[in-house]
Amino acid sequence: MKLIFHVKEYKSEQRLFVDAPASNELISIFRSIEGRLFSGSIKMWHFPNNEKSRTDLKNKLSPKYELIWDNSNNELQQAQQAIVHINTTAYAEEYKNAILLFKKWMQQKRYSNNTINVYTDCLHVFFNWIQQPILDIDNSHVFLFNDQYILKKQLSVTYQSQFVNALKLFYSRLFDRKLIVEKIDRPKKPKTLPNVLSKEEIKLILEGIINNKHRAMLSLIYACGLRCGELLSLKPEHIDSKRNLIIIKQAKGNKDRVAPLSTKLIELLRTYYKQYKPKNYLFEGQEQGEAYTARSLQQVLKQSVSKAGIKKPVTLHWLRHSFATHLLENGTDLRYIQEILGHSRSTTTEIYTHVSNKSIQKIVSPFDYL
């Protein structure tokens, strides 16, 4: 397999960019290269443009992969051109001003920081790939972008949907546009089931944790069905031990909600609090007053899963899925689960009925009657 490396400018520095297929083997190799970075906006790895990086890449990728060092502005590079440094485009100032105005509008509408960052990144990528004046862009350009960029790079349905959402919202706020937002179609989402751990697996993961902070964090995610960001945003005053409740402030969709806290979990949190005495956030990192990072928490989970002898690629969100499924199996009404999880629509919560084994295990296969 050929891997073509292109030299491009990134933040005033020359870097080696590679448009490589997504594979665990390549990701593992790329992560071992000193100074490597991954661009989430264009889904490409890039490395320092020096002899050490080239030697390391050659030693670790050869002979299975054929490495091509392309410093020229050839046809392949033009076809795969994406945003790296916005000031290299002919319409840089126009794009910059329009996206800044759009960002301010989203901030005034109180969109979440994550949504603002995702949408502005999508617009940067789209405009700098299309290279057309903003008001001259029509639906044929969107079709071309989906065909020559999204599909050619084999990017995910979720990633494509983010572009559609960003473009629809952006152009619905502009006048005299050629693009018809109603005719921008979203990709069909695959119907996948949530990943769920058994109660026994959850117990193995939590009981193997020695550190009280780590155990409290993972326990709270599972016991209350929290998202990772919701846990990391918690403050000590959000724990209402007198009413056995946890208050989740301004969660997804800028909504507040409450979730029940068990007596067992309250005791665990008290033990943790006495030991660590957090000042600002309930769970803080190495710097006092600073929130614990999602990356560090994912590493804690990864180590705990490995220690428990579980081979599944468990993520933090699996704990939330497991919480909802186990509640359903225990007979909790679906409407209460919806409220605890903070779902706007009941159809979102109903997906857990497809992974619950409460009723499925009672079904007798006709094979047993043969």
Point out the residues that are catalytic: 227, 252, 317, 320, 343, 352
Q: What residues contact 201, with CB distance under 8 A and at least 6 apart?
A: 308, 310
Distance between CA atoms of residues 256 and 250, nearest Å: 5
Name residue, tokens 């409290």: 216
Contact between 273 and 236 under an 8 Å Cβ cutoff? The reply is: yes
Angle at alpha carbon of residue 208, lines to 202 and 214, rounded to 5°? 85
Distance between CA atoms of residues 358 and 349, nearest Å: 16
Distance of CA 140 to the CA centre of its chain: 29
Q: Which two tokens stand for residue 206?
A: 């939590």
Q: Which residues of 314-327 are buried (b: 16+ CB within 10 A; e: fewer)?
A: bebebbbbbbbbbb
Distance between CA atoms of residues 58 and 169, nearest Å: 44
What type of residue sits at position 16? L
Quickly list DSSP for 228-239: HHHHHT--GGGE
Angle at alpha carbon of residue 15, lines to 29 and 145, rounded to 5°? 90
Distance between CA atoms of residues 135 and 146, nearest Å: 19
The dihedrals phi and psi of 141, each to the nearest 5 degrees, come to -70, -40
Burial class (CB in 10 A: 0-12, 13-18, 19+), 296: middle
